Amino acid sequence: MKKIVYLILILLIIFFTLKGCLKQDKGYDSDVYLSEVRPLEIIEYNFEKPQNVTINGVDYLQARGEVGKFGGELITSTIGEGPKTFNPFNANDNTSAQLAGVMYDGLLTTDPFDGTVGVKLAKSYEILPDGLTYIIHLRHGVKWSDGVEITADDVVYTYQTIIFGGFGDTATRDSLYIEGKLPTVEKIDKYTVKFTTPKPFAPFLRTLSTPIAPKHIFKKATDKGKNYFRTYLSTNAKPKDFVTSGAFKMSEYVSGQRVIYKRNPNYYMIDKKGRKLPYLDKYIVLIVGDLNNDTLKFEGLETDIVNLQGSMVARYRELEKHGDFTLFNLGPTTSTTFISFNLNTRKNKEGKYYVDPIKQRWFNDENFRKAVEWAIDRENLVLNVLCAVGEPLYTAESPSSIFLNKELAKGHKQDLNYSRELLKKSGFYLKDGKLYDKFNNRVEFELLTNAGNTQREATGVSIKEDLNQLGMKVNFKPVEFNSLVSKLSNTYDWDAIIIALTGNPLEPHSGHNVWSSNGALHLFNQRSDNDLKGTDKILPFEKELDEIFKKGAIELDFEKRKIIYDAYQEIVSKYNPIIYLYSPSNIVAARKKIKNLYPSELGGILHNIEEIYIDKEIKND
């Protein structure tokens, strides 16, 4: 009975997804399809970068937007089950990182309009002529939400103890290794910090956007050890436990329902009248479960902003004409959706293989992976899952990346005959329409994705049908997100997966943790903590990727870096440890009552949440 109900649900997903995409059957061109959505190129922002302003000995950062009004609340949403933690140093999923990131600022940031490095907690910075030394000048008089001053001690503690010491998620630390060595950090005086890298390191400045922790609060947790720190500021933490530097501080969290933030009265940003930001009294994030609920919440006037699935765009274009919202086309997202097979041939502590040895042979066969890559109809996915609101993806870099390998990005059409030739080379054969390996094992495996994301669920059904044409039996199964994360990062007991990662279009080294053979997000051949000391079972192409990312990090010339990162994309395309599918366009609907809203491709819709305000005279329809 459960199987029947589940099948009906999947069919409904497909029906409603395809129903919203019927226009695509007429050869709808995505550029025309989106032409009436307000594109970013027609939005002109005529203001300077945020300015440093000193008032009564305190170094504030003055916002660039118009002077707004205080009060009101902004309500947004997140899909899934909610955050796993509110500790920014433990967050290894996008939801947790975003909800924790609201409360903690870093030293530097990326300008959302031109991509240059900008200041946050740092008042300024300088790079000495040796190319190794970075001097960070902190703002004077800036305070944590509890009134304690933010100083160099907080910065040194954050990097030396938490990050370099390996507390929490080690992604930032791992990305900073240069030929086996980490940078050093030292306090020059109360407001000055010096970082020194072993060699010139191109990505270093952008890593200084990492949140800074209040030493007087976090030290109590790090003193108790790494195991304790993993549970610190969990979803069970009380609002009073949070001491923050960001625009907001947590006020309330109701598991599976909502997160409520209140303004941080000690925030260091001001408006052009010298008044402390943020303008909003409250920022509320509703936990809505799935994409369909997300849309329903917006249409029910319960939220103020919604990211739209492709199937909803045509309808919202009509609703916008008489509605209380504006549509924005933010261009291609930095999200890359892909399918990956588990290449892990290791055993767990109990001596049991993570992956069935029979499946290991298939997944580690280059012809098998390439056959799958050529069998996937990406154009069909874009038309019938994204409704042409996006584009096919063939590379490890998103279409928005300045390091995109444009030749590889051209891609190819589905070719099932070529897929069959590749499988035949490795001894696979068809019998009664079913695919078998050379040892007469039926090719059957499980394909997972996170339940509630209807686009990925529809993608899984489409890929299942594509591979069925090769005789493969794919058992497609959406599962609860936290369970999926556990399989990927802890138990490693999965066959294949559909998921997405968000990259940095300005810095490929942000993907170091994905491509490094010992990276925490090296999904396709994950190594446990017990494996990290050894180099066994690392595939030849993984060693090539290790070397490429080491080389790319220490090369400072853009054109030379471009050649290096073109090469990594070529390796991924050749060996297909990850098979890329598509990159959606970022279409957002936002209420007209939201002011100081300056969407950008790099920053998204709420990059300047501290200066956003609500025009209370504009009511929701």
Delimit the domains of the chain by residue range.
Answer: 2-28+333-584, 86-229
Listing from the earlier edge strand, what are the strands of the sheet with 184-189?
122-127, 133-138, 192-196, 184-189
SS (H, E, C) 535-575: CCCCCHHHHHHHHHHHHHHHCCCHHHHHHHHHHHHHHHHHH
CA 497, distance to chain mean position in Å, is 17
CA 226, distance to chain mean position in Å, is 25
Q: What is the per-residue pLDDT for 20?
A: 44
Please compute the mean of the pLDDT values over residues 501-529 and round it to a whole number.
Answer: 89
User: Measured between alpha carbons, how far is 289 from 77 in angstroms, rounded to an integer?
Assistant: 9
Query: Percent of the chain having pLDDT more than 70?
Result: 91
Q: What is the per-residue pLDDT for 24?
A: 38
Please compute the mean of the pLDDT values over residues 260-269 and round it to a whole number.
Answer: 97
The residue among 58, 131, 67 whose CA lies nearest residue 611 is 67
**Model confidence at 44: pLDDT above 90:** no
Please compute the mean of the pLDDT values over residues 4-22 and round it to a whole number.
Answer: 41
CATH superfamily of 2-28+333-584: Dipeptide-binding Protein; Domain 3 (3.10.105.10)
Please compute the mean of the pLDDT values over residues 139-163 and round it to a whole number.
Answer: 98
**Model confidence at 621: pLDDT above 80:** no
Q: What is the per-residue pLDDT for 15?
A: 40
Least confident of 64-68, 294-298, 532-536: 532-536
Query: pTM here?
Result: 0.83
Please compute the mean of the pLDDT values over residues 59-77 and round it to a whole number.
Answer: 96
Residue burial 448-461, b: 16+ Cβ < 10 Å; e: rest: bbbbbbbbbbbbbb
Q: What is the per-residue pLDDT for 32?
A: 43
Please compute the mean of the pLDDT values over residues 488-512 and round it to a whole number.
Answer: 92
**Model confidence at 371: pLDDT above 90:** yes
Q: What is the per-residue pLDDT for 311?
A: 84
Classify domain 86-229 by CATH number: 3.90.76.10
Q: What is the per-residue pLDDT for 36?
A: 60
Q: Helices in 68-169 by DSSP H: which ranges?
A: 94-101, 152-157
**Model confidence at 17: pLDDT above 60:** no
Q: What is the per-residue pLDDT for 39?
A: 62
The pLDDT-based confidence of 67 (bands split at 50, 70, 90) is: very high
Look over the chain and give the mean of its residue pLDDT values, rounded to a whole number. Answer: 90
- Three-state secondary-structure class, residue 343: coil
Q: What is the number of alpha carbons within 13 Å of residue 243 lying toward its C-beta? A: 16
User: Measured between alpha carbons, how far is 339 from 453 in angstroms, rounded to an integer?
Assistant: 15
Tell me the per-residue pLDDT of 165-218, one tens digit each, with 9 for 90 and over: 999 988 899 889 988 899 999 999 999 999 999 999 999 999 999 999 999 999
Question: Any idea what the Cα angle at residue 341 is, between residues 337 and 344, rounded to 5°?
Answer: 135
Distances (CA, A) of 282 to 261, 264, 287, 307, 513: 6, 10, 16, 21, 35
DSSP assigned state of 395: S
First and final CA of the chain: distance in angstroms? 43
**Model confidence at 485: pLDDT above 90:** no
The residue among 139, 128, 245 whose CA lies nearest residue 195 is 128
SS (H, E, C) 573-601: HHHCCEEEEEEEEEEEEEECCEECCCCEC
**Model confidence at 11: pLDDT above 60:** no
pLDDT, greater one: 35 or 283: 283
CA 368, distance to chain mean position in Å, is 29
**Model confidence at 55: pLDDT above 90:** yes
Please compute the mean of the pLDDT values over residues 486-492 and round it to a whole number.
Answer: 88
User: Measured between alpha carbons, how far is 316 from 530 in angstroms, rounded to an integer?
Assistant: 51
Q: What is the per-residue pLDDT for 42?
A: 58
Please compute the mean of the pLDDT values over residues 40-44 and round it to a whole number.
Answer: 61
**Model confidence at 290: pLDDT above 90:** no
**Model confidence at 425: pLDDT above 90:** yes
User: Measured between alpha carbons, how far is 272 from 120 in angstroms, rounded to an integer?
Assistant: 17
Q: Is the dihedral of CA 58, 280, 62, 129 positive or negative?
A: positive
The pLDDT-based confidence of 528 (bands split at 50, 70, 90) is: confident
**Model confidence at 531: pLDDT above 60:** no
Which residues lie across from 449 on neighbouring strands?
478
Least confident of 91-105, 108-122, 302-316, 607-621: 607-621
Which residues lie across from 186 on neighbouring strands?
194
Please compute the mean of the pLDDT values over residues 135-157 and round it to a whole number.
Answer: 98
Q: What is the per-residue pLDDT for 331?
A: 86
The pLDDT-based confidence of 127 (bands split at 50, 70, 90) is: very high
The pLDDT-based confidence of 498 (bands split at 50, 70, 90) is: very high
Q: What is the per-residue pLDDT for 557?
A: 92
Q: What is the per-residue pLDDT for 289?
A: 87
Six token digits for residue 595: 């002011």
pLDDT, greater one: 190 or 36: 190
User: Measured between alpha carbons, how far is 70 from 281 in angstroms, rounded to an integer?
Assistant: 7
Please compute the mean of the pLDDT values over residues 341-368 and round it to a whole number.
Answer: 93
